Amino acid sequence: MNGSWSSLVSSAASECTQVLEKAIDQDWSRNAAGLEWTCRQTLDHMALGVVGYAGLLIAQPADRYITLFASLDPRAPIPACLEGLRIAGTVLARAVREATPDVRAWHPWGHSDGPGFAAMGIVELVVHTHDIARALGLDWVPPDGLCGPAVERLFPDAPAGHAAVDTLLWCTGRIALARAGRREQWQWHGRVR
């Protein structure tokens, strides 16, 4: 089971970096859509989060974040930063693949397991790639094949009857859905169910 989640993380990292490579010549100092961070800061947040999830899964703390921070070099060109994001995805994918089913680690939104941290990484990657893509004028929609498993694992209260991408974007406060306005506050539920 962790092997399929590991593959999903790898696919998300590959998909997202391929999309963002199309905008390497754009102005990454502008804010990502809907965020107070620039596109470049959002890229760094993605790498930091994805490596952080791997670290949590490896260290298995019961009550805290780990002390490892993996930021991108602020002077590096965007192509090198995208390489860093691919590396972060690979680190998480390998940590997920190696985690046994009994592994649990702390997260403020629920102690989680390998599939949970994989889903968190997928959400970070696809949602923030969507934020950056919108700001940089790229026409990209996260694939349902990545969004669906993440929604199912992390958002048990998600409304049914919508495309997986729309549901994920609603769950993370990016869009409104019919009969379910836009969320002002949100969080996922990482706890193993």
- Tens-binned pLDDT, residue by residue, of the chain (193 aa): 566 999 999 999 999 999 999 999 999 999 999 999 999 999 999 999 999 999 999 999 999 998 888 899 999 999 999 999 999 999 999 999 999 999 999 999 999 999 999 999 999 999 999 999 999 999 999 999 999 999 999 999 999 999 999 999 999 999 999 887 888 889 999 999 8
Q: How many helices (H) and strands (E) does the chain have?
A: 6, 0
- Buried-state track 86-106, b at ≥16 Cβ within 10 A, e below 16: bbbbbbbbbbbbebeeebbbb
Question: What pTM did the predictor assign?
Answer: 0.96
Phi, psi of 117 (to 5 degrees): -70, -35
Token output for 183: 């969320």
User: Please, what is the end-to-end C-alpha distance for the chain in angstroms?
Assistant: 15
Cβ pair 88, 51 in contact under 8 A: yes
Strand partners for 112: 105
pLDDT value, residue 193: 83
Q: How far is CA 118 from the centre of its chain?
A: 9
- Amino acid, single-letter form, for residue 109: W
Distance CA 11, CA 99 (A): 19
Distance from C-alpha of 154 to C-alpha of 29, rounded to nearest angstrom: 31
From its phi and psi, is residue 161 left (phi > 0), alpha (psi between -120 and 50) or beta?
Answer: left
Nearby residues of 135 by Cβ (< 8 Å), 6 or more positions away: 30, 31, 32, 33, 39
pLDDT of residue 2: 63
Q: What is the largest CA-CA distance in the chain?
A: 45
| Alpha-carbon gap, residue 190 to 116, rounded angstroms | 6
Q: What is the pLDDT of residue 180?
A: 79
Assigned fold of 2-171:
Four Helix Bundle (Hemerythrin (Met), subunit A) (1.20.120)
Phi, psi of 33 (to 5 degrees): -55, 125
- Whole-number pLDDT of residue 183: 86
Q: State CA 2 to chain mean position distance.
A: 17
- The structural domains of the chain, with segments of one domain joined by +, span 2-171
Identity of residue 65 = Y
